[in-house]
Amino acid sequence: MKSIVILISGRGSNMQAILEADLPIRVSAVVSNNPDAPGLDIARRHGVPVEVVNHRDHDSRDAFDAQLAAGIDRHSPDLVVLAGFMRILTPGFVTHYAGRLINVHPSLLPAFTGLNTHARALAEGVKIHGCTAHFVTPHLDKGPIIAQAAVPVLAGDTEQSLAARVLAQEHVIYPQAIRWFAEGRLRITPDGNVILKNQPPMETALISPQEPQ
């Protein structure tokens, strides 16, 4: 059984979705850069060991990442999962975990990299928004895409209502991406795309706005 370490900074909703998804994995630890992260209590209630590596205790990003990596490596995980981990990681850290570091981002990458994705989607007037599970590379939000989920942008949506709809889909695709990794079904091609082995054909489409039936 493959093991994972989950990194969080806040409430840990994606972490909770992973812990409750009955995946064929062992969660070796949950690590946070924030000692007050509410997600730490959720992990404890699930019986998962928790650790804190406070970024405020370090003089540089390199020093923080070095201690963070040392803590992760004590668990020898097969996969490191960023679940609302609000730190930009150094290239050295990312390279150390190449091919076994994943993230979920609240947009349909490559659109809306970075922060404030929902507000930007509304400002641009897009009709479909969503989320992306992807491998992490040194280039922010540019790693190979594992899975995406799309949601319609509805008339009258606010940043908060759109964010809630997207978050619900993050809770679906992120555990699924981890399951595929654990099952050995993901392969990164030389040109940086992800192939899912034994993927059934799909012919459905999401159209937004949708004409009433």
Q: Which residues have a catalytic role annotated?
A: 105
Interatomic CA distance for residues 142 and 186, integer angstroms: 17
Omega prior to 200 cis, within 30 of 0: no
Interatomic CA distance for residues 16 and 26, integer angstroms: 14
B/e letters for 87-112, b = 16+ CB within 10 Å, e = fewer, are bebbeebbebbeebbbbbbbbbbebb
Q: What count of other Cβ atoms lies within 10 Å of the Cβ of residue 51?
A: 16
Interatomic CA distance for residues 20 and 205, integer angstroms: 29
Q: Packing angle between helix 159-182 and helix 117-124, nearest 10 degrees?
A: 120
